[in-house]
Amino acid sequence: AMKKVKGVSIISAGFGEADSKGRKLQEEFLTIAKKAGIRILGPNCLGILYPPQHLNASFAPFLPFSGKVAFISQSGALLDSVIDWSVKDNYGFSAMISYGNKADLDAPDFIAWAAKDPWTKVIALYVEGFNEGRYFLEMAKKVTPIKPIVALKAGRTATGSRAVGSHTGSLAGSYQIYKGVFKQSGVIMADTLTQMFDMARALAYQPLAKGNRLAIVTNGGGSGVMCADYCEELAIELPALPRKLI
Q: Which domains does the chain have, with CATH numbers?
A: 44-204 (3.40.50.261), 210-246 (no CATH)
pTM across the whole model: 0.86
- pLDDT of res. 18: 76
- Would the pLDDT of 60 be above 80? yes
pLDDT (average), residues 12-24: 83
One DSSP character per residue, the chain reads -TT---EEE----SSTTT-HHHHHHHHHHHHHHHHHT-EEE-SS--EEEEGGGTEEEES-SS---EEEEEEEES-HHHHHHHHHHHHHHT--EEEEEE-TT-SS--HHHHHHHHHH-TT-SEEEEEES--S-HHHHHHHHHHHTTTS-EEEEE---SHHHHHHHHHHHS-----HHHHHHHHHHHTPEE-SSHHHHHHHHHHHHTSPPP-SSB-----S-HHHHHHHHHHHHHTT-B-PPPPGGG-
pLDDT-based confidence at residue 173 (cuts at 50, 70, 90) = low
The per-residue pLDDT for range 140-163, each reduced to its tens digit, is 999 999 999 999 998 776 675 566
What pLDDT shows up at residue 175? Answer: 82
Question: What is the rounded average pLDDT of the residues 82-110?
Answer: 95
pLDDT at 241: 86
